[in-house]
Amino acid sequence: MLYFTRYGLWHQARKQDAVIRRLIARVFSKKRQTRFRGTETLMGKRDPAQIPISPLIDINRDRLREAYGGSPDLIMRLVRGGPKGKIRFLVVHLDSLIDQEMLSRAVIQPLTEPRYRWRSAEEAYTEAKDRIILASDVKEVRILDELVEHLGGGSCGVLVDGIPRAIVIRIPGWEQRAVDEPTTEATIRGPKEGFIETLRVNTSILRRRIKDPRLRIEERTVGTVTRTIVALAYIDGLADPGVIQEARSRLEKIKVDSIQESGQIEEYIEDAPLSPFPTVLRTERPDKVVAALLEGRLAILTDGTPFVLIAPATFTMFLTASEDYYERFFIGSALRAVRFPAFLFSLTLPALYVAVTTFHQEMLPTPLILSIAAQREGIPFPAIVEAFLMEVLFEILREAGVRLPRIVGHAVSIIGALVIGEAAMRAGLVSAAMVVVVATTGIASFATPVFSIAIGARLLRFVMIALGGTLGFFGVVAGLYGLSIHLASLRSFGVPFLEPLAPLIPSDLKDIILRVPWWAMRTRPKLVSKKEPIRQAKDLLPRPGRGLPETTLSAKDQNGRKKINGQG
């Protein structure tokens, strides 16, 4: 009876496999086949439901071997368990992606224990899934394509002969970078840990900092070839449900073959893809992400990169640093008061110099304009050409310093700027005042905390120079006016980009250019968190007393105080 049952299962699986192969041949025999069309699956089918797991592990083993092209890193081991080894198990995994010790101790050793006396394959499968396998993350899959996806994510698969299902055990064990200080957002005071390239480590960092169970983390797979895991994190009750649903919708619309970095996700979900200014904030600091989540925003984490996306984002968020909140409020306000003008200088200073020296010499004091005129004597280029030349050279030096090895990169950029600037002045190609203006502009651009908005200002600087060199102050003012209109028209997941300046929200001005003390920051941003706007209690202003109460002092101390006061 067992023979006929096994023969019937084998015959049924063979017929099913023959039908699948005919369908595959029919699909690939078409003359006009596009290279990429929809979601590809294990055997080239568009619908994963067409390739279920076969009840015979020999067929499943052949399909897996064919799917991976006989790759040597695909490990498939056939083990036997139960009475006299009648139950066959197929343990499959990808080499170097799982913990080998955990695999032997939690999976293979329990399955091969001779004390288990299973009477059927179904009983062995149920016992293995529910009781025998010593791992916490155990799932069941019925589709072969889902099994392949789990194998690539650091899981092990167990198939039982005669059962058209598979057990998936997550036991990752690949090499990863240790949690270290962020390299792009360093601070003097504050946490020194940053995100890394492993998604599960990054989500654990968030869980460790936010212990409230309302922290929601939704995962989805993006990329039909890379199958990158993307996680959407938010706090239920603080984040706007409309913004969350919009984020889900935008992520689901991404139909590509590969996602390597969160910058690709950013370009697919941002509101203004043609704007030089980003509408999604990126960071590798966990404290910055946690602060955004507590304000009612959402975070998007991508496996394989330490940079996390934050939305909705506003313009002022790009000019604030984590250190502003860890120092005392007047120090943080002073730092912002320096940072905002520095951003404006990095955008307009060369344009203003070109406009003054070309059209508006009467606006400068006579000694200063005579000094500039003496420096420009013998310069063969007009001021606008001189500014363009120096800005291009400065950008080349900056890019060279970034791309060179870290040991020599900074030295080359600094020495190159000094040598080229000095040589250009001695050769009479540029004036000393222009070198000072360009160097000041470059230093001011370094004060911007977020690189993505600093590079936008660097690109717009050339537009402002062209406007200042052709139309003078009128061109610079017109450029700033048009830029303000553009920024006011931007949205980030429905939230105005210039909020709370445009539209003006007085209650949110407490954390813009000046930062009020923590005990005065009682409410969350009005347009971001609508359900729970209050973040702390009233009257948290510290009012220390003039000494300890009498009841808190010991009897000896009270007697000593009385003697000092002349009472004893």
pLDDT digits (tens, 9 = 90+) for 248-286: 999 999 999 999 999 999 999 999 999 999 999 999 999
Segment holding 5, helix H or strand E:
helix 2-28
Which residue do the tokens 């598979």 mark? 166
Instruction: Report which of 207, 206, 257 is spatially closest to residue 227, judged by C-alpha positions.
Output: 257
**Residue 366 backbone dihedrals phi, psi, to 5 degrees:** -60, -45
Mean local confidence (pLDDT), 132-153? 90
Are the beta carbons of 527 and 311 closer than 8 angstroms?
Answer: no
- Residue 72, preceding peptide bond in cis (omega within 30° of 0): no
DSSP reduced 3-state for 355:
helix
DSSP H or E run through 144: helix 144-152
pLDDT of residue 18 exceeding 80, the answer is: no
Would the pLDDT of 550 be above 70?
A: no
**The predicted structure's pLDDT at residue 373:** 86
Which pair of structure tokens corresponds to residue 67?
Answer: 């799917």
DSSP H/E element including 555: helix 555-564
In the 3-class helix/strand/coil scheme, how is 389-453 assigned residue by residue? HHHHHHHHHHHHHHHCCHHHHHHHHHHHHHHHHHHHHHCCCCCHHHHHHHHHHHHHHHCCCCHHH
pLDDT band of 187, cuts 50, 70, 90? confident
Type and span of the H or E element at 4: helix 2-28
Mean pLDDT of the 483-494 span: 94
From CA 493, how far away is CA 244, in angstroms rounded? 9
The C-alpha atoms of residue 38 and residue 59 are separated, in whole angstroms, by 27
Q: Which two tokens stand for residue 414?
A: 């600094």
pLDDT at 557: 53
What phi, psi does 311 have (nearest 5°)? -150, 150
For residues 2 and 145, the model is more confident at 145
Of residues 472, 466, 389, the one with CA closest to residue 427: 389
pLDDT of 519 above 80: yes
- Segment 71-81 shows an average pLDDT of 91
Rounded average pLDDT over 470-493: 94
Average pLDDT of the segment spanning 42-48: 46
- Which tokens is 393 given? 């050279």
Whether residue 278 contacts residue 323, with contact meaning beta carbons closer than 8 Å, is answered with no
Nearest to 351 by CA among 457, 253, 451: 457
Q: What per-residue confidence (pLDDT) applies to 419?
A: 74
pLDDT at 27: 42
What is the model's pLDDT at position 48? 40
Cα separation, 93 vs 381, in Å, equals 67
Quick one: pLDDT at residue 513?
A: 84
Average pLDDT over residues 445-451: 89
CB atoms under 10 Å from CB of 124, counted, come to 24
Q: What is the structure's pLDDT at 478?
A: 95
Reported as type and span, the H/E element at residue 244 is helix 241-252
List b or e across 214-247, with b for residues whose CB sees 16 or more CB atoms inside 10 angstroms.
ebbeeeeebbbebbbbbbbbbbeebbbeebbebb
Pairing, β 228-235 against β 166-170 = unpaired
**pLDDT band (50, 70, 90) for residue 545:** low
Per-residue pLDDT at 112 exceeds 50: yes
Type of residue at 80: R
Distance (Å, whole) CA 382 – CA 429: 10
Percentage of the chain beyond pLDDT 70 is 85
Q: What is the pLDDT of residues 394-414, one digit of tens each?
A: 888 888 777 777 666 666 666
Q: Which residues are CB-neighbours of 118 under 8 A, at least 6 positions away? A: 81, 82, 83, 87, 124, 127
Report pLDDT for 20: 52
**pTM score of the predicted model:** 0.81
Q: Are 400 and 415 contacting, i.e. CB atoms less than 8 angstroms apart?
A: no
- pLDDT tens for each residue of 275-323: 999 999 999 999 999 999 999 999 999 999 999 999 999 999 999 998 8
Average pLDDT in the chain: 84
Q: Tokens 């139309």: give the residue.
A: 471
**CA 491/CA 455 separation, integer angstroms:** 20
**Rounded to whole angstroms, how far apart are CA atoms 531 and 242?**
12
Instruction: Report the pLDDT value the prediction gives residue 432, as an integer from 0 to 100.
Output: 86
Q: What is the predicted pLDDT for the residue at 242?
A: 93
User: Which of 49, 53, 16 has the alpha carbon at shortest distance from 165?
Assistant: 53
Question: What pLDDT was estimated at residue 559?
Answer: 53
Residue 196 — very low, low, confident or very high, per pLDDT cuts 50/70/90? Answer: very high
* pLDDT tens for each residue of 344-399: 999 999 999 999 999 988 888 888 888 888 888 888 888 999 999 889 888 888 88
**How many other CB atoms are found less than 10 A from the CB of residue 192?**
11
Q: How confident is the model at residue 3 (pLDDT cuts 50, 70, 90)?
A: very low
User: Residue 156: which H helix or E strand, with range?
Assistant: strand 155-160
Task: Report CA torsion sign: 245, 250, 255, 256.
Answer: negative
pLDDT tens by residue, 414-435: 666 667 777 777 778 888 888 8
Reduced to 3 states (helix: H, G, I; strand: E, B; else coil), residue 515 is strand
Classify 91 as helix, strand or coil. Answer: strand
Contact 127, 117 (CB under 8 A): no
Sheet of 155-160: strand order equals 74-81, 87-94, 155-160, 166-170, 138-141
pLDDT at 412: 65
Q: Please report the pLDDT score of residue 116 as a whole number.
A: 85
Q: Above 80 in pLDDT, residue 72? A: yes
Measured CA to CA in angstroms, residue 304 lies from 261, 265, 491 at distances of 7, 12, 28
Is 137's pLDDT higher than 50?
yes
**pLDDT: which is higher, 560 or 185:** 185
Average pLDDT of 495-517?
A: 90
Percent of the chain with pLDDT over 90: 47
Residue 276: how many other CB atoms lie within 10 Å? 16
Identify the CA nearest to 319 among candidates 450, 188, 491, 451: 450
Q: Classify strands 166-170 and 155-160 as parallel, antiparallel or unpaired.
A: antiparallel
